[in-house]
Structure 1
C-alpha cells in the first residue's frame, strides 16, 4: 500500500481533483517520484502550497494547521527535495510549486544525493516524459510546448524577421543573477545507466528566482553573466543546442538548457513521437545543394536526425531527393506504429539510395568531398582539421593508404578517379612543419588515466581522440621506438620515419605520454596498471609475427619471416642478402619485402604468389613499382617442399595453384601436385600472413581468444569480456590496413570515454556509420569535362631507402580538385528539424542556414489551455477530412 498523503500531494501539484477520472494513482510517475523522499508530514505541509502563488511559512502553517517552526522545517525539506521553490522576498522566505515538467521533476532530479540513493526518482522522471508525451501529439501549436528550442544565435544573425524571444542573449542580458547546474535529463539517464556520453556537469543555466533557489539549495553554483555566455559558447562548440522552459509567457523564462538529442527528455517529443511542434523553434534548416559538399558534419551533429546525406548527381533511376513527409501528426492519426521508440540507436546517416562513394567506402568515413573543396579554396588548415575529425594521421595515410575512396570514385565512370591520396598528402604536408601543424583544442579536463598498449595506428588513434577529450593517456610500447608497424613494418621508401615522427609529435603536444621498452605482460601486468590508477585499457598490439609455411626444413638458415626482415631493416639490423631471393606471398607486405630485399643486396628477387595477377591482394601501384625494380612475379604457385643442405636453404619446390578461393570467396586453394617447379635460392622471405604474439599479456585475465588467435570483443563498442579492457586493430580483426586500425581506435576512444564515466551506455546516441554508396551505373555523366588526372613528378627508380615520390604542386592541386564531381549533398526533413542551428555551426561551406517558417510565440501555462484546445479541435477536423478523402479514393 502506498502513502495516501503523498498521493494527495501529487494530485495537488498536478492540479487534479481528488477521485477524478484523470487523477493519479500509486502506479503513476507523479506519485513514484515523490514517494521515496516525501514523508506524510511533508505532504501535509505541501498541501498548503499553491501553483505559482508565493506563500510564507506562516501562511502555510495557518492553512494546514501546524506549528510555524515545524511548518518552516518541512517546507525547507520540500525545497531541498525539489518539490517546492523557495525564495527570499524582503528578508522573508516564500514557497510555491510549479509544473511537473519543467519544474518539480527537474528540481528533484537535481538533488544528486537523493537520485543516487533512490533511483526511483530518475526512473519516474523518465517514465513521466515517455508516458505523458502521447497525449500531446499534434495538439500543441508551434511555440507553445513545455520546452522550446532556441536557435544558436549566430544561425539567425542578420535574419530580418527574427524575434527577440528567440535570442539567447535577450534572456542573459535581462537577468542579473545566474547559476549553473547539472543537466537533469542527463542525470536521469546516468542514474539509469543509459547515458549517451554527453556528461551532465555544468550544463544548465538558471536565472532570476530559479538561480536563487538553485544556489540556496546547493543544486547549482552562482556564476556571472560572462560565465553564462561562456557556457553557452562551450556548449555550442561541443555540438549541443539550447532550449528553455516555455510556460512563463512569451519572451520569459527562468532557465536555459544545453541539450543533446540522445538524452534530452524533451526532445523525445520530436524523436520518438515525431511530435516536433511541441519543442521546435520558428526556424528550420535549409541546405543550399550547390554549396553542399556532403562532408556530413551537419548530419552527425543534428540532435534529432533531421539531416541525411544523399546525392547531387542526376540519375536515370529514381533517387531520394527530398525527406518531405506525406503524413505528420498535424493532420493524421498517430498511433504507435508511426513512432520511433528506438531513436537512440537507429539514427540514419544516409538516405536509402546512397551518397558519395568516397565517404561511404572509406573505413574511417573521412569527409573526402569536404576537404577537397576546402583545398580548392586554399583553406589547407581547415581541410586538415576536417580530415583529423576522423583520421589523425593524414600525412602517413597519404603515403600508404589503400585508398578505397579512389577505387570507388565516381570519376572512374568518366576517365580516371580523383587523386584523393595525393590531395590529402598535399594538405597534410603542413603537419611536417612544426610551425604549421594543426593541434586540436582539448575539450575537457578529466582526471582519469587511460592505458594504451601498443603504439601502432590503432593505439595512436585511440590515444589521440582520448587526449582531445581530456584524458591522461599513457601509451606503452615494448620496442624502444614509438609507431608500431608504421615504423617497423613499412619500409622507409614508402613511409619515411620523419613523417611518422611528425604526426606522433602532435600526440605529445596533446599531453600523451609514451613509455617505450616496456612489455605489458612481461615487465608489468594490466593488474599492476590498475593498481596505478588506470581506469581503462586499450589493447592494440597488432599482428607483428610472421606465419610459417608448415613444411619440413623451415628452420633452416636463410629462411626469414618477412615481417621480421622489415622490422630488422627499419632498426638498421637487417641481415645482408645476396644471390637469389624468393619471396612467398602476394600482398602488400610481400611487395614491401621484395623491394626491400633488392635494396638489401639480393641480385635477383622472385615473388611467388598463389593468386593470379588479377587476384593478388597487393595494390596495383605497388605491383607496378616492384616490376619497375626488376622484381620477377610468378603467379599461381604455392610452396610444396624445401631443399636444405647442411642446415642451409638451397632450393624450394612449388606446385601449381589452380584455384585460391571457393565460390563464396573463402580461402580454399586447390593445387595440381603433378605440375611442379623447383627454384634454387639463397634466401627465402616468408610473407604469407601475420599472426599475433600475445606473450604473457593475457595471463590471469578474463579475455578470450578466437580460433584465429584474435581477441574476442564487441564489434561495435570494442569492449572485451573484461569490461575495462577494449581491443582494436589487427589484434582484434586480424591483419588489415592502417586506416582500418585508425577507424577502430577512434571508436574505442568513444567507448572508453563512456565506460570510465558513471552511468554511460556504450551504445545509446552513437553514430553507427551506416553509410552506403550511390548507384553509379545509372548516373548521367555525359556533360562532365574530361580534364586529365594530375600526377606528381615521378623520378627514375632508385634502390635506396628514401621515398622517391614527390607530391602535387599547388597548381596541380587546383586542377585536380576541380575534377571532383561533388557527388553528394545533405537533405533536410523540415518537419523533423527543430531549428536549433547546430548544422550552421558545423558547415564550413555556407551551405546550411536557418530560415523562419513559423511565427509561434510562447504563452504562459495559465493561458495555454484555450490555445491547445483550439489546436486539438482543428487537428481533429483535418484528420476527419483526410480520412474522408482517403475513403473516397478507395471507393473509386
Structure 2
C-alpha cells in the first residue's frame, strides 16, 4: 500500500506536484528510498520545511499541528534515518534537509542498520542516478555538477594558474571538526552484490556541520585534521581519487569522498553516460610521449578508462595517436546509443591499433619498457618495484623465463631483440642483496585467514599478493621444501636454490606462514581448515607427477620418469649413473634431465623425441646448451617398446616418426613401422610430460575435473564449483612456464580478496588485461641505436657439464646500460581528453614524469540556490549547438 504522505514528501523534496506530468510516482527511487523507514506522520513534519532552510522544532510544530515535544521526536527520528541534518546552533537543535544527491540518499544509506534491514534503500540510491542521470547529459557546465572531482594536490603543484578551490588541503584547513565514515556508494554496491573490490570502510571524510551531524547520529567517528590528511594520502596511494559535494557554493563543501570509478554512483555519470562534464575538475591529463614508456600504471589506475596504451612509432598506415570524440553531449542529442552501460566490465587497456609487443606477449603483462627505462637511469629499486607489481620473482624468472617478450620484440625484426631477460636479471640481482631488496608495504590489515595449497610459483605468487593486500596467509606444501617445480624440477645449474630462497625470504618478511611436509587431503582436510577459520583456498599443487608412455617394458627397475629423476636429484638423493642414459622427450624437462645426467656419473647421454628439431618444444637456447655439453639429440624417433631382461631395461626399440600433428594441428603422431632401430640403454628416463597428483585433496568436495585431470574453474575468476576454492597454475592450464603460473596467482589473489569481503563481485570493475600488439609490418623505424646486442661471456660446455653451479654470467652495468639504449620504446599512453575528469591519479603512478595535469577549464562551483539560472542558460546554449551540428551534417 502506498504511503500517500510519504509520496507527497518525495514530490515536495523533488519540487514536483502530484498529478503533474513529471510527478514522482510510487515506483520511482525518490519514493522507494523513503518508503521502508519514513512514516506518514514524519512526512507531515518535513512537508512544512523548505530545502536548506534551517528551522527548529518550535518553529515547525504549529505549522504541522503537533506538540513541540512530538515534533522534536519526529525530527530526531528523521535525522537518524538520514532525511534531514541536525546541528545544535546557539544551544538549540536545528534541522534542515538537502537535495536528494548529494544529500538525503547518501545519508540514508549511511544508516547501515536500516540498509541491512531494508536493502531497498540502497537499491533506490543506485537507481536514482541511473534513472535521473541521463537528463543531466550536456546540461551542466563544467564545474557546476552535483559532485566535483578535486585533483590530487601534488599533481597541480607546478600550475601557474592555481586556484585554492581545486586543492584538497583548502577544505581540510578551512574546517575544525572532522569525521570519517563508510562510503555510501560502496555500501550500496555491496548490498546489491556488485562491489568492485574497493571496500567501503573509512572512505568518506565529513567536515563542519556534516561532521557534527555524523557524530550525533553515529554515522562516522571523529578524527583529527592530521588523521584526515592521512586518509587522503592512503587513498591516493591505493589508487583512489577525490570528489566533493558541489552545491555549497564557490570554494565550499562539507565532505571529501575517496572514490573509484567502478563503484562511485557519481563517477558513473562520466563512465556510463559519457558525461564527464558533470563531475570533472578544471584539469585534464597530458602525456609527454618522449618520456612515456607505456608501463601501463596510469592506464590501470584511471578511474574512468580515459587512458589506454597505444604506440609512438611512426607507421605507414594511420594508427590511433589520440582519442578524439566526434560526438559529446555538449553538442549532440544524447541517448542510450551513446552510453557505455557495461563500463564496469568492458574497460580497455589498449587502443584498437595495439601497443608494445613485449608487454602484450608477457603472460603477466609486466611493464618491460618501464623497467628497461628505469634501469637505464640507474633506478634499480624502482625497476624492481615495477616488476613486482606483476611478478614477485624477478630473479627466478631472469634465469628460467621463456622470454616471450624477446620473441616478439620489435627490434628483433631489425637485427636482434633487446636482451630483455638479461636486463631483468641484472635488476633482479639487486633483490638478492638484503641491503637493496624491495619489500612492498602491506596496504591494509584485514585479519582474515587464507590458505594456499601448494608452494610452487603460482601458490607463492598468490600468497605474495594477498599478503600485500593485507591478509593472513598460510601456505601448505606437502614437500619439505618450498618452490614446487622451481626447486624440485629445475636443476641448480639453471636456477640455484639460493636464488629461490632469497625471493621466498621476502614472502616470509611479509608475514606469510609456511607449513611444509603437510599434504592437504591426507594430513588435514579442506573442511578441517574451514573449521580453523580459513575463509578461502587457492589450490596450486602443480603438475608434479611424471607420466609414462603405456608401452611394453616401462615398469623395469631402471626406467624412471623425468619428474621423479629431477626431484630425487634436487632433494640430494644419490642417483649416480653409469653407461648409456637414454632420455625420451623433447621438452625443457627432458633437456634438464639430459644435462643433469651428464653431471652425476660416467655417462653417455642420448635424447630421442618424436619432434623434428624445429618442432621441439624445448627452448632453442636450452637445446644449444645441451649440444654444447655433448648431449646427442635424435629427432623424429618414437619409442615402440623397452627391451627388458630379468626385470632390467637393456635397450629401446624406436620407430621413425613421420608427422607429429594432423592436418587440424592436433597432436596425432604417425610412424613408419618399417623404419626401426634398437638403442642400448643402462638407464631410461621418460620425460614425456607431467601429470597432476590430486591425492585425496578433492575428496567430499563438489570440485570437478576435466578429462585431462585439470580442474574445472572459471578462466577469469579461477573459482571452482566450491565457492571458496580457487585454482590456478598447472592444475588449471596443464603444464606451462613459471611466469604463466605466477600471472594466475595474482588473478587468484584478486578473486579471493573479493570473495571473502561481503557483497563483492568477482567480475565487476575487474581489469581483464586484454592486450594486443601493434602491427610490426606497419611501422617505420626512422632512427635507432645501431649497437649490437650485449651478451654475457660464453659458457664453456666442457666446464659446465662438470658442475651444478650456474656458470651463466650477468651483464655488467656498462653492458646493461648499453643494451637498454637498444629499446625502440614502441608504446605510449593515449588520452581521451573528454573522458578524463582531471583527478590526477595517473600522475601519482608515473615514475617517468611523463603525465601531468594541465588546466583546461575555468568552471566554478555554484550554490544550490543559484543553480537554476545557470542550468537554464546552459540548456539553451546546448540546444543551439545541437541544432547547428545537425544543420552542418545536412549541408555538409
Q: TM-score, normalised by structure 1?
A: 0.99
Superposition map of 1:427-466 within 5 A: 427-466=427-466
What whole-Å deviation, never above 9, does each CA across 1:720-769 have from its counterpart, x for those lacking one?
01000000000111100000000000000000000000000001111101
The CA distance in 2 between the partners of 1:166 and 1:723, in whole Å, is 45
SS at match of 1:107: helix
In the alignment, is the contact (CA less than 8 A) between 1:581 and 1:602 conserved in 2? no
Counterpart of 2:738 in structure 1 is 738
What whole-Å deviation, never above 9, does each CA across 1:423-466 have from its counterpart, x for those lacking one?
00110111111222101000000010000000000000000000
Superposition map of 1:324-339 within 5 A: 324-339=324-339
Superposition map of 1:852-867 within 5 A: 852-867=855-870
Counterpart of 2:182 in structure 1 is 182
The CA distance in 2 between the partners of 1:405 and 1:648, in whole Å, is 45
Superposition map of 1:461-610 within 5 A: 461-610=461-610
In the alignment, is the contact (CA less than 8 A) between 1:565 and 1:574 conserved in 2? no
SS at match of 1:55: coil
Counterpart of 1:846 (choices 827, 846, 849) is: 849
In the alignment, is the contact (CA less than 8 A) between 1:547 and 1:686 conserved in 2? yes
Counterpart of 2:767 in structure 1 is 767
SS at match of 1:578: strand
Superposition map of 1:235-250 within 5 A: 235-250=235-250
What whole-Å deviation, never above 9, does each CA across 1:684-722 have from its counterpart, x for those lacking one?
101110010000101111100000101110000000010
In the alignment, is the contact (CA less than 8 A) between 2:304 and 2:835 conserved in 1? yes
Counterpart of 2:883 in structure 1 is 880
Change (3 A) 1:497 1:280: same
Counterpart of 1:201 in structure 2 is 201
Counterpart of 2:811 in structure 1 is 808
Cα distance, 1:20 vs structure 2: 2.2
Superposition map of 1:90-489 within 5 A: 90-489=90-489
Counterpart of 2:13 in structure 1 is 13
SS at match of 2:779: coil
In the alignment, is the contact (CA less than 8 A) between 2:785 and 2:821 conserved in 1? no
What whole-Å deviation, never above 9, does each CA across 1:195-234 have from its counterpart, x for those lacking one?
0000000000000000000111011000000000000000
In the alignment, is the contact (CA less than 8 A) between 1:49 and 1:95 conserved in 2? no
The CA distance in 2 between the partners of 1:664 and 1:856, in whole Å, is 62
SS at match of 1:21: coil
Cα distance, 1:73 vs structure 2: 1.1
Counterpart of 2:831 in structure 1 is 828
Superposition map of 1:611-622 within 5 A: 611-622=611-622
Cα distance, 1:574 vs structure 2: 4.3
Superposition map of 1:778-793 within 5 A: 778-781=778-781, 783-793=783-793
The CA distance in 2 between the partners of 1:681 and 1:822, in whole Å, is 52
In the alignment, is the contact (CA less than 8 A) between 1:177 and 1:208 conserved in 2? yes
Cα distance, 1:16 vs structure 2: 1.8
Superposition map of 1:621-700 within 5 A: 621-700=621-700
- 5+ long unaligned stretches in structure 2: none
- 5+ long unaligned stretches in structure 1: none
Counterpart of 1:817 (choices 809, 820, 843) is: 820
In the alignment, is the contact (CA less than 8 A) between 1:375 and 1:427 conserved in 2? yes
The CA distance in 1 between the partners of 2:377 and 2:708, in whole Å, is 48
In the alignment, is the contact (CA less than 8 A) between 1:585 and 1:688 conserved in 2? yes
In the alignment, is the contact (CA less than 8 A) between 2:597 and 2:603 conserved in 1? no
In the alignment, is the contact (CA less than 8 A) between 1:415 and 1:786 conserved in 2? no
Cα distance, 1:528 vs structure 2: 0.5
Residue 66 (1) aligns with residue 66 (2): yes
In the alignment, is the contact (CA less than 8 A) between 2:784 and 2:822 conserved in 1? no
The CA distance in 2 between the partners of 1:360 and 1:795, in whole Å, is 31
SS at match of 1:669: strand
SS at match of 2:308: strand
What whole-Å deviation, never above 9, does each CA across 1:513-552 have from its counterpart, x for those lacking one?
0001100000000000000000000000000001111012
Of 160-169 and 596-605, the range deviating more from structure 2: 596-605
The CA distance in 2 between the partners of 1:559 and 1:767, in whole Å, is 47
Change (3 A) 1:173 1:9: same
Change (3 A) 1:96 1:580: same
Superposition map of 1:2-81 within 5 A: 2-81=2-81
Residue 706 (1) aligns with residue 706 (2): yes
SS at match of 2:852: strand
In the alignment, is the contact (CA less than 8 A) between 1:348 and 1:770 conserved in 2? yes
What whole-Å deviation, never above 9, does each CA across 1:396-442 have from its counterpart, x for those lacking one?
00000001000000010111001111100110111111222101000
Counterpart of 1:751 in structure 2 is 751
The CA distance in 2 between the partners of 1:56 and 1:339, in whole Å, is 45
Of 205-214 and 793-802, the range deviating more from structure 2: 793-802
Of 461-470 and 785-794, the range deviating more from structure 2: 785-794
The CA distance in 1 between the partners of 2:71 and 2:602, in whole Å, is 95
Cα distance, 1:592 vs structure 2: 0.5
The CA distance in 2 between the partners of 1:398 and 1:514, in whole Å, is 25
Of 41-50 and 472-481, the range deviating more from structure 2: 41-50
What whole-Å deviation, never above 9, does each CA across 1:552-594 have from its counterpart, x for those lacking one?
2211011001001000000011422111111111111110011
Cα distance, 1:602 vs structure 2: 4.8
Cα distance, 1:307 vs structure 2: 0.3
The CA distance in 1 between the partners of 2:492 and 2:709, in whole Å, is 30
Cα distance, 1:90 vs structure 2: 1.5
Moved over 3 A (4+): none
What whole-Å deviation, never above 9, does each CA across 1:623-682 have from its counterpart, x for those lacking one?
000000000001111111111000000110111111111233221111111111110111
SS at match of 1:763: coil
Cα distance, 1:46 vs structure 2: 2.1
SS at match of 2:88: strand
SS at match of 1:658: strand
Cα distance, 1:778 vs structure 2: 2.2
In the alignment, is the contact (CA less than 8 A) between 2:655 and 2:677 conserved in 1? yes
SS at match of 2:424: helix
May I ask how many residue pairs the two structures share in their alignment? Answer: 889
The CA distance in 1 between the partners of 2:343 and 2:597, in whole Å, is 55
Cα distance, 1:782 vs structure 2: 5.1
SS at match of 1:519: coil
Change (3 A) 1:534 1:771: same
Cα distance, 1:781 vs structure 2: 2.3
SS at match of 2:828: strand
Counterpart of 1:718 in structure 2 is 718
Of 361-370 and 481-490, the range deviating more from structure 2: 481-490
